[in-house]
Structure 1
Amino acid sequence: MVTRQPTGRRALVGFCLLASLLPGLAVQANWDFARIIRLAEQRYGGLGIGRERLEQWSQLIEHGGGFDEAEQLRAVNGFFNQALRFTDDASTWQQLDYWATPLEALVKGAGDCEDYAIAKYLTLRQLGVPGEKLRITYVKALELDQAHMVLAWYATPTSEPLVLDNLIPDIRPASQRPDLLPVYAFNAEGVWLPGAGGNQRSGDSKTLSRWQDLLNKMRHEGFARTTGKEAP
């Protein structure tokens, strides 16, 4: 995530384009991490401590399916907040804005706010959390005066969400995060805008090359593919 605040129109277009591409990777228990790690070693060479992080991620997915949703939220939020250190894309990838796959972030041991949020989203979907409960949310971090990304979990579509964030390790209700100003959110079902009467769903979405690139990278990394409705 770049540190500048994106313009509202350009950022909204990006979100509208993004949601339809979320159905792209299978939500299933059979991500083959032995193959995934082998392919990563062929690409990167020795993974060092990155291999340990990938193995820990594999174990989280293997065992986390038996957790209730509250435990899954805590486990996934805590794992990525501890496994990744925050660095901007220019430092990590020598690019202004780069969307890393969870594997790329874990190999590096670093990521920016969008990498945390996307990795948490994909992991929770893989663990079986319904897509309608999760929204990747762009906010303005008021104390930092910059754009930021978090993951929100809704018990019901109209519930107050819980916020999974890399800035604050505790999972808190949105009402306890006055430092965050929602801009818009998305998941596989669509795009939402904040409104006086609550979140308002805003149209369908088409295509977004950056997200498609990320999904394609994950497929090349060895993650399963599906076009089913139950995909992330």
Structure 2
Amino acid sequence: MAAIAPRETPLPTLPSSAPAKLGVFESVAISAARLPAASKWQEARKIDYSQMFGADCAASGLAGCDSRFASKIRGAIDRVAGLSDREMLNLVNRTVNGAMTYEEDEAVWGTSDYWATPTEMARKGAGDCEDFAIAKYWTLRSLGVPDEKLQLVLLQDTRRQLFHAVLIAHTGSGAYVLDNVSNRLLVDTDIAQYQPIMSFTGERSYIHGFASNSRAVADMPKDLSAVAPSMGP
């Protein structure tokens, strides 16, 4: 993936010195290769889409620079300078949640599990949960947040009984959950019904388990290829 050019205006960035604790939602993260969704995640990272949310978007050659989706996110980025990390994450979460409409992949793409790129989101103006997470990932990357501080998590929502996807931003004060179902910014330990299944940080993939007796995991999927986070908002 191409390197992301630094922005001229100083912006809040999450510190990159300490390694992120990837065992989110009180899980244990185990490095794993060839996970079913890994290729979709890497495809979403193959091109530097952070340029879509910068002032030079038109010169980048990316489609969708003049879309409502891109314009709304750029407008929020212009207000980031001077904010704390938490305020920045809260602004990004709320802005992306309002920048496109939630629709399931079947309605948008005619398939059950499609991971859209930001240019595709701009064209359609709609997406499902992992699309919101990918848009937040690229928005934060455009703000200079280190790749290793961002974690896309595929999980099971035990309350709604469906698969879901969120973006986690790791900070010194906790792992914040950027979620399309809520504009309220919470840390991972505040959401008991989320059980992570697999996650992705940069080039790395992880599966998640739990310490003995820490959670009831009888309903966790045995077939990871069946985890399609597009069944409900």
Give TM class, smaller chain.
Answer: 0.5 to 0.7
Q: Residue 131 of structure 2 corresponds to which residue in structure 1?
A: 115
Which residue of 164, 173, 181 maps to 1:167? Answer: 181
Per the alignment, residue 36 of structure 2 pairs with 14
Task: In structure 1, give the amino acid aligned to 2:110.
Answer: Q
1:65 CA drift (Å): 5.4
Shift of 1:14: 2.6
Task: Measure how far apart 1:180 and its partner are.
Answer: 1.0
Pick from 192, 197, 202: which aligns with 2:206?
192
What do residues 113-166 of structure 1 show as CA deviations (whole Å, max 9, x unaligned)? 01000000111011111122110000101122111100111125xx74211111
Q: Assess, with a 3 A threshold, how the Cα gap between structure 1 residues 61 and 14 changes in structure 2: closer, same or farther.
A: farther
Shift of the 53–191 alpha-carbon distance from structure 1 to 2, 3 Å rule, reads: closer
Deviation of 1:99 after TM superposition, in Å, equals 1.6
How many angstroms does 1:12 deviate by? 6.4
The residue correspondences of 1:129-144 to structure 2 (distance < 5 A) are 129-144=145-160
Identity of aligned residues (%): 32
Contact 2:96/2:132 (<8 A) preserved? yes
Q: Which residue of 1 aligns with 2:48?
A: 25
Give SS of 1:75's match.
Answer: helix
CA distance in 2, matches of 1:162, 1:38: 29
Contact (CA 8 Å) 1:15, 1:185: kept in 2 or not? Answer: no
Equivalent position SS for 1:14: coil
Alpha-carbon distance in structure 2 between the residues aligned to 1:15 and 1:38 = 25
Q: Which of the two has greater helix per residue?
A: 1
What's the secondary structure of 2:111's corresponding residue? coil
**Corresponding residue for 2:194?**
180
Say if 2:64 and 2:122, in contact at 8 Å, map to a contact too: no
Relative to 1, partners in 2 of residues 1:65 and 1:36: Cα closer, same or farther, differing over 3 Å?
Answer: farther
Number of residue pairs aligned between Structure 1 and Structure 2:
178
TM-score, with structure 1 as normaliser: 0.64
Task: Provide, for residues 156-212 of structure 1, a one-character-per-residue CA deviation record: whole Å limited to 9, x for no partner.
Answer: 5xx742111111221111122112111121111522333446xxxxxxxxxxxxxxx
AA matched with 1:14 = P
Tell me, yes or no, if the aligned pair for 2:177 and 2:185 is still in contact at 8 Å.
Answer: yes
Amino acid aligned to 2:159: E
Label 1:67 to 1:94 Cα distance change in 2 as closer, same or farther (>3 A): same
Bigger drift between 22-31 and 92-101 goes to 22-31
Unaligned runs of 5+ in 2: 1-32, 212-233
The TM-score, its normalising length taken from structure 2, stands at: 0.64
Q: Distance in 2 between matches of 1:94 and 1:17?
A: 20
Q: CA deviation at 1:96?
A: 2.2
Given that 1:15 and 1:186 are in contact with CA atoms closer than 8 Å, whether structure 2 keeps it comes out as no
Distance 1:57 1:19 in 2: 21
The structure whose RCO (Cα within 8 Å, separation 6+) is larger is 1
Instruction: Provide the C-alpha distance between the structure 1 equivalents of 2:77 and 2:201, rounded to a whole number of angstroms.
Output: 21
Q: Secondary structure at the match of 1:99?
A: coil
1:12 and 1:67, CA in 2 relative to 1: closer, same or farther beyond 3 A?
Answer: farther
Deviations 1:85-119 (A, max 9, x none): 21101111222222212232234221100100000
Which residue type is aligned with residue 34 of structure 1?
A
Q: Which moved more, 1:118-127 or 1:160-169?
A: 160-169
Letter in 2 for 1:93: W
